[in-house]
Amino acid sequence: MATIITVSDVTDYYELAEAEKKLSIEQELNRIAQEMHDSAGHTFTMISSLAKIANCEIVKESPDMAKISESLADIDGLSRSGVTQLRCSINNLREDEFMTTVTKAIQTVIDAVRGVEIDFCPQGIEDERYAFCIRSVYDNVRETVTNAMRYSEADRIDIIAKFLGEKLEIYILDNGRGCDSIKENNGLRGIRQRTEALGGTVRFMSVRGEGFTTIMSIPIKEDKK
């Protein structure tokens, strides 16, 4: 028996294929846009911070040329890294040598920061069960630190990562100017979406004059055998 395919069936098939193609393209464009917002935003904020440090030193009566040179070298390094990150975002390629543990990923963000004191306190024992959320934690911490430097005028940030067995909790607190109300823009919305995609929750809290706090809670997926 032969199967009869009507014109209507063929039309529906191609319409469905076209819709799926458009959705795939839209999802990829959204991914690239989010990646570029996160990576470029972080890089440019770091460069701006380093430029301010260098400028403050230059206007002194006796500028520390070694400090200025160090800042310029860091700016050059960040600029090169930024170009690489943009290329990686577009090509969906990543340099993930630091993506081996949550702790190392957070420390990588901290090591790139200049001009703000950051205290990082990991608590508990990290093991392979937390590996599934390393990339999202890195992106979320990077975005949160960037926001603190860009908007809050903070000069200190405290980061606490609690490895609790059944879940991972991350607290990020800055001593910036805070705000009366919180509007979830692209950055905060990205943090929420990444966290909820892992089955977790995120809370943003702030009081004017008392800084900004981000709390992320990500449940650990037990390996059922």
Give the Cα separation of 189 and 77 in Å (integer): 29
Q: Are 187 and 143 in contact (CB under 8 A)?
A: yes
User: DSSP string covering 69-104, please?
Assistant: HHHHHHHHHHHHHHHHHHHHHHHT----TTTT-HHH
Is 50's pLDDT higher than 60?
yes
When computed from its CA atoms, the radius of gyration of the chain, rounded to whole angstroms, is 22
Q: pLDDT by residue (tens digit) across 187-218? A: 899 999 999 999 999 999 999 999 999 999 99
**Per-chain mean pLDDT for the chain:** 81
What pLDDT shows up at residue 81?
57
Share of the chain above pLDDT 70, in %: 71
Q: Is 6 exposed, middle or buried (0-12, 13-18, 19+ CB in 10 A)?
A: exposed
Q: What is the spatial order of strands in the sheet that 117-124 belongs to?
A: 117-124, 156-163, 167-174, 212-219, 201-206
pLDDT in the model for residue 65: 87
CA atoms within 13 A on the CB side of 191: 24
What the chain holds in terms of domains, given with CATH numbers, is 1-95 (1.20.120), 100-225 (3.30.565.10)
- CA torsion 112→114→119→122, rounded to 10°? 0
Q: Are 174 and 152 in contact (CB under 8 A)?
A: yes
pLDDT-derived band at 157 (thresholds 50, 70, 90) equals very high
Residue 225 has a pLDDT of 47
Total-model pTM: 0.63
Residue 14 pLDDT exceeds 60? no
User: How high is the pLDDT of residue 150?
Assistant: 78
pLDDT digits (tens, 9 = 90+) for 64-96: 888 888 888 777 766 765 654 555 455 544 545
Q: What percent of the chain has pLDDT over 90?
A: 38
pLDDT digits (tens, 9 = 90+) for 99-111: 789 999 999 888 8
- Distance from C-alpha of 173 to C-alpha of 89, rounded to nearest angstrom: 28
